[in-house]
Structure 1
C-alpha cells in the first residue's frame, strides 16, 4: 500500500498525492488518445492547459481524485495491490469528467474549478462531444483489462451509466415538477451521484478478484456515500463559498433548482415554507435579494438541518456496508477518513 506521507491537519481532506502518482500516467494517456479537438477540451477541463492548449504553469489535477482513490483503496480493502485497480480508477475519472461537462451544459453553469466552464469557451457542441469521447475512452480502458475480469468490469460500468442517465433525467424533471418529495430526491441522488461512486468501489473489488458478496458490499458503501456526498454538496451550493468551491454559490436558488434543502423545506408547513414556495413560483428570475431571502427561508423552514441529517444517515449506512465487506484494517481506515471528509467539506 503506498504511503500518504504526513497526515492532513484536523478537518482537512486526506492527502491523496499517492493516488495521482498512480493515476496520472494512465489517465493522461487516455485523454491524449482522444481526437485532437476533444483532447484539448478535456485537458482544459481538467486544468492541464489553457484554452489555446498552452500548458498551465501550475496545472491542477482536476479535482481531489476521490473516485479514483476509492477504486484503488477498494482493491486494497480486499487484499489486492492498489495498482490492480488503476484501469478502474481511470475509467471512473473519465466518466466523472463526462458527467461534469454535460452537467455544466444542462445547468448553464459558467464556472467550474475556479475557471470558465468548457462549454462557455469552446461552445456547447464541443463540450458535449468531449463528454461523449471521454465515455468511449472509459469503456475502452476497461475492455483492455486482462481476460476474465474485463467483462464483469464493463458490465458494472454500463449498468452505472444507465443509472446515471436516469438520475440526471429525474434531476432535470424536478425543475418543472410542482412537488418533489424527499424520498424522490434521494432516489435521484442515488442514481446521479451514488451510482458512480458505488461503481468506483465495486470496480476496485472486481479488478482485485473479490467475490460477488464483497463487491456488492463495496458497491453499497460507495452508493450510500455518494448520496451523503450529494446532500453535502447541496448544502454547500446554498451556504458554501464560491471562492473555495470553484462553483457559483446560490446558482441553484437563482435557477429555482430543487436541491435537497429546498425540497425538505417545501415539504413542511409554516410561513417560511409558504413564502419560499411563492418565490419559487414567481415568473421572473430571482435577483440577488431574492436569492438571499430564499437562503434564509430554506434555513428557517428546516431545510438545512434536514439535509445535514440525511447526510449523516447515509454516511452511517455507508460505513456499515464497508465493515460488511471485511476490509483490511489499513484500507478501512483510509476509506473511513475519505468518507468522513467528503461529508464534512467546506469547499
Structure 2
C-alpha cells in the first residue's frame, strides 16, 4: 500500500453502494420528519432536491458515506450484521451534516459538494437552524436504537458531541492565536474530526454487542483515522482542486487559518517560514496573488510534507488499534481500504 507522501498516487475509493442502499432509506425517513423549512434545506444540502424543493432527477455527486460505512463495518468486524448498526450509521451521518452546515457558515465557504452552500442559498439562520434540527434528530434516533445497548450508545454520542464542539471552538480560536504548536493542532483535530469518526466505529461495535475491549479498539481506530483524515484534508485545502473536492481551494489560506501545513511551516526557521509569518501577520486582507505566494511558501518551508508525514503516522496508529479490536478478516480488509483511500486522495 502506498505511503502518504507528497509524490504518492491517489487511491481509488472503494465502492460502497451497499452502504447507500442500507443508509439512504433510513436517512431520508429521519430527514422527512423535520419541519418543512429544515427538511428542504437538509434535502438541498444532501443533493436530494433543488433549492425550490424540486427533486433532483440524477444525483451526480453522492456522499461517500464514510462514517456510516465505518459504523456498519465495525458491527460486522465484531461478528454482528450491518443491520445491527443501521441506527448508528444514520446518527453519525446526521451529525456530520450538522457540522458541515455550521462549518460553512463559520468559515464563509460558498461551495459544498459542488453546489452553492446551503447558507448562501437559504440564508445563515436557516442553515444554522437546520444543523440544529439534524443534531436533535440524531439524538432522537440514537435513543430509539433497538437492543439493550441504546443507553451506552447515547453516552457514546453525547461524549463525542462535546469533544466535537470543543474541537470546533479551538479551530476558530486558532485563527486569532499568534502561535499554534503541532501538538495543539492535533488535539484540536482529534476533537473536531476524530471524535465523530471514533464514535461511528464505537457505535457499530456497541450496537452489535461487542465487549468493552473491542469497542475501545474500534473507537481508537476511528479517532486516529479522523486525525489522519484531517491532516490529509488540510493538504487538499491548499493544493487540491475544487473540481474534485467540491469545496473552495485556497480559502483556508485567504482566511489565514492555521491548518497543519501552515502550523508546520510557521514553526520553521528558513526564509520561506519568515516570509510566511510576515504574510500571515499583515494587517490587510490577502488577495489572490497573496494566496498563491502563501501556498508556495508553505511548501518551501516543509509544511506540506510535514502534514503528510503526520497523516501517515496517525494512519499506522489507527491500523494498530483496529487490530486490537480483533476484527473479522473481511471487515478488516474493507476498513483498511476505506482508511487508505481517505488519506491518499487525489491531491
TM interval, shorter chain, is over 0.9
Q: 2:61, 2:113 within 8 Å by CA — same for their partners in 1? A: no
Q: 1:45, 1:62 within 8 Å by CA — same for their partners in 2? A: no
Post-superposition, which runs of at least 4 consecutive aligned residues in structure 1 deviate over 4 A?
none
SS of the residue aligned with 1:177?
Answer: coil
Aligned residue pairs: how many?
Answer: 339
Deviation at 1:57, TM superposition (A): 1.7
Match of 2:131 in 1: 131
Match of 1:188 in 2: 188
Match of 2:90 in 1: 90
Match of 2:166 in 1: 166
Match of 1:260 in 2: 260
Matched, 1:51 2:51: yes
Match of 2:333 in 1: 333
* Separation (CA, whole Å) in 2 of partners of 1:115 and 1:77: 36
Computed over aligned residues only, the root mean square deviation of the Cα atoms, in angstroms, reads 1.2
* RCO higher in structure (CA 8 A, sep ≥6): 2
Match of 1:11 in 2: 11
Structure 2: runs of 5 or more not aligned: 1-9
Q: 1:49, 1:59 within 8 Å by CA — same for their partners in 2? A: no
* Separation (CA, whole Å) in 2 of partners of 1:170 and 1:315: 23
TM score, norm. by length of structure 2: 0.96
* Separation (CA, whole Å) in 2 of partners of 1:21 and 1:294: 43
SS of the residue aligned with 1:53?
Answer: coil
Match of 1:144 in 2: 144
* Separation (CA, whole Å) in 2 of partners of 1:51 and 1:293: 37
Structure 1: runs of 5 or more not aligned: 1-9
SS of the residue aligned with 2:102?
Answer: helix
Q: 2:190, 2:224 within 8 Å by CA — same for their partners in 1? A: yes
Deviation at 1:123, TM superposition (A): 0.5
Match of 1:4 in 2: none
Match of 2:345 in 1: 345
Match of 2:22 in 1: 22
The superposition leaves residues 168-193 of structure 1 with CA deviations (integer Å, 9 ceiling, x where unpaired) of 00000000000000000000000000
The superposition leaves residues 277-305 of structure 1 with CA deviations (integer Å, 9 ceiling, x where unpaired) of 00001111111111010000000000001
Aligned residue runs from structure 1 range 105-116, under 5 A: 105-116=105-116
* Separation (CA, whole Å) in 1 of partners of 2:192 and 2:340: 20
